Amino acid sequence: MKPVAIVLALILGLAIHRWAGTAEPVRPPGDRPNSTIEQARRQAEILHEAMHATLQVVHHRYYQEDEGLPLPAATLKEVFATMEQEQQVSLRWLAIEGQVMNTDHTARTDFEQAAAQALKAGKKSHEQIHEGQYSRVAPIILTNHCLKCHVPDRKNTDDRIAGLMITIPVQTP
């Protein structure tokens, strides 16, 4: 349970930091104004870094393959569900390199397929604004520890990448 507690503590810390010192009361999920595109971009960047760091730390320090613990990425999907329900912010893993571990992580849309190609080509992120939603995909590093499952027949231990797609409602002109 340590990984789950750490993840939740980090997410709670981010939430407290975001709202600390604001004069406005926290609004119910359906009553929040949408972000501007620039605000959504910055929120997605920060959220991506927080999720990436959390995944790496939990995976490397607390996850042990033979202890029957859930994978950290699978545990974070529970956090993703809460973020979507409470904040209307959608997060989704996207398979880029290596074996697809869950068919839910396969690129489904033209945007997701373009994002996968862009990240494979070395781009730092790929984004779009569509129907009042800002979406950003950025890489998640799959280190040697991750490659045991994601690239089981690898010939080297070079890092590979997966993606994290973050979608935030935005104000449209």
113 — pLDDT class (breaks 50, 70, 90)? very high
Return the closest-CA partner of residue 48 out of 150, 163, 171: 163
The class that CATH gives domain 2-25+35-169 is: alpha beta
Return the closest-CA partner of residue 72 out of 89, 88, 86, 51: 51
- Residue type (1 letter), 47: L
6 — pLDDT class (breaks 50, 70, 90)? low
The pLDDT value given to residue 17: 47
Q: What is the per-residue pLDDT across 33-57, written as a single tens digit (0 to 9) for each?
A: 689 999 999 999 999 999 988 888 8
Indicate if the pLDDT at residue 97 is higher than 70: yes
The pLDDT value given to residue 160: 75
Work out the widest C-alpha separation in the chain, in whole angstroms.
56
The share of the chain scoring above pLDDT 70, in percent, equals 66
Mean pLDDT of the chain: 79
Q: What is the DSSP letter of 23?
A: S
- Residue type (1 letter), 68: G
